[in-house]
């Protein structure tokens, strides 16, 4: 097989599951390697197409940083036939991998700026890839503020890492849940309630938002009030990618195909198509 064919976006590579971990009732962690091949070589914010013979194929965001070598990580929400079948797999099993696909976060453009990360729900999965990349290259970036939200304490992701981040003196971390559960002593409220607690220099701040579509409207409103420029608000859009190569049209927003032109955009790029988010 020639190198050009190996690099084809249509070629399915065999990914070996190294280990798994239940993260919540719906989300499961997978560490995967591509035996005999190089690292995935993805950018934070990109996704892969994961396939199971006889079941189908689904787009899954990569949750690990490209600084992680030897394997990559996925956190998969059980939401359909493919993801449901994946939840039954364990160490030693194999899945098909195509990709990575899409335009990831503009890490070079973010260098030298203060960063405000705002994540909600499953959006914390692709955002985790960027946050860990930034923390692994801490000296390249300015102040770092991380705001995370989810529905309930039981649906929180990356809890162990979040605890470690909260103990660091070189970053600020705050989190909230929509609804408190028994024993929860943290904050309760929408993710927007955390924004006033962050000191922002708008001219030197990039805000990165990843979460459910309803979250974007209200978070962006708050950021615009803080005078962060449209071009410095970065979003990753949720769309159901079917092919990954811009052919099927399932992920189209106006002139954009999210699987190729996105899923990461600056707000000024998609502002005129905001109602389609």
The whole-model pTM stands at 0.92
In the structure encoding, which two tokens stand for residue 275, read together? 């109602």
pLDDT at 238: 72
Mean pLDDT, the chain, integer: 90
pLDDT at 261: 75
pLDDT at 263: 87
In the structure encoding, which two tokens stand for residue 174, read together? 């705050």
* Residue 79 to residues 102, 215, 262, 276, Cα–Cα distance (Å): 22, 20, 22, 23
Where does the chain hold its CATH 2.40.30.10 domain(s)?
3-100
pLDDT at 4: 46
pLDDT grade for 271, boundaries at 50, 70 and 90:
confident
In terms of Cα–Cα distance, which of 119, 115, 120 is closest to 137?
115
Does CATH number 2.40.30.10 belong to domain 3-100? yes
pLDDT at 47: 94
Q: Tens digit of pLDDT for each residue in 134-174?
A: 999 999 999 999 999 999 999 999 999 999 999 999 999 99
Scan for tokens 């929400």, then name that residue: 77
pLDDT at 74: 98
- Kindly state the helix (H) or strand (E) to which residue 4 belongs, with its residue range: helix 3-6
Higher pLDDT, 10 or 69: 69
Where does the chain hold its CATH 3.40.50.80 domain(s)?
107-276
86-90, 164-168, 201-205, 266-270, range with the lowest pLDDT:
266-270
Higher pLDDT, 49 or 273: 49
Q: State the chain's maximal CA–CA distance in angstroms.
A: 57
pLDDT at 243: 64
- CA–CA distance, 69 with 191 (Å, rounded to integer): 33
pLDDT at 182: 84
CATH code, residues 107-276: 3.40.50.80
Q: 144-150 and 114-120 as β-strands: parallel, antiparallel, unpaired?
A: parallel
- CA–CA distance, 132 with 162 (Å, rounded to integer): 11
pLDDT at 249 > cutoff 50: yes
pLDDT at 277: 54
Provide the edge-to-edge strand list for the sheet that holds 56-61: 56-61, 47-52, 94-101, 13-22, 27-33, 72-77
pLDDT at 187 > cutoff 60: yes
pLDDT at 5 > cutoff 80: no
72-86, 208-222, 238-252, range with the lowest pLDDT:
238-252
pLDDT at 247: 62
pLDDT at 192 > cutoff 70: yes
Q: Tens digit of pLDDT for each residue in 198-244?
A: 999 999 999 999 998 889 999 999 999 999 999 999 999 876 666 66
In the structure encoding, which two tokens stand for residue 181, read together? 């559960």
pLDDT at 1 > cutoff 60: no
Distance of CA 51 to the CA centre of its chain: 20
In terms of Cα–Cα distance, which of 192, 93, 213 is closest to 149?
192
Scan for tokens 């502002």, then name that residue: 271
Cα radius of gyration rounded to whole Å, the chain:
18
Q: 94-101 and 114-120 as β-strands: parallel, antiparallel, unpaired?
A: unpaired
N-to-C CA span, the chain: 41
| DSSP track, 99-146 | EEESB---HHHHTTSEEEEEEEGGGHHHHHHHHHHHHHTGGGS--EEE
């Amino acid at each position: 097989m020639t190198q050009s064919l190996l690099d084809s976006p249509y070629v399915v590579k065999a990914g070996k599951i190294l280990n798994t971990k239940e993260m919540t009732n719906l989300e499961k962690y997978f560490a995967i390697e591509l035996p005999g091949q190089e690292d995935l070589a993805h950018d934070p914010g990109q996704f892969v197409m994961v396939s199971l013979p006889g079941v189908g194929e689904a787009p899954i965001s990569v949750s690990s940083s490209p600084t992680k070598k030897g394997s990559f990580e996925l956190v998969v929400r059980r939401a359909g036939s493919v993801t449901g079948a994946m939840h039954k797999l364990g160490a030693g099993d194999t899945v098909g991998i195509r990709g990575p696909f899409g335009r990831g976060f503009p890490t070079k453009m973010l260098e030298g700026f203060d960063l405000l990360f705002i994540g909600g729900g499953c959006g914390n999965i692709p955002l985790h890839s960027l946050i860990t990349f930034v923390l692994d290259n801490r000296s390249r970036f300015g102040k770092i503020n991380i705001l995370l939200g989810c529905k309930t304490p039981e649906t929180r992701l990356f809890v162990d890492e979040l605890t470690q981040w909260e103990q660091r003196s070189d970053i600020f971390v705050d989190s909230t849940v929509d609804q408190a559960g028994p024993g929860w002593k943290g904050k309760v409220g929408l993710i927007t309630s955390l924004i006033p607690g962050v000191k922002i220099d708008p001219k030197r701040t990039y805000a990165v938002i990843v979460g459910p579509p309803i979250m974007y409207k209200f978070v962006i409103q708050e950021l615009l009030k803080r005078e962060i420029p449209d071009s410095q608000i970065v979003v990753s859009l949720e769309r159901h990618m079917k092919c990954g190569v811009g052919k099927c049209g399932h992920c189209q927003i106006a002139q954009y195909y999210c699987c190729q032109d996105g899923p990461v955009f600056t707000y000024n790029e998609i502002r005129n198509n905001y109602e389609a988010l």
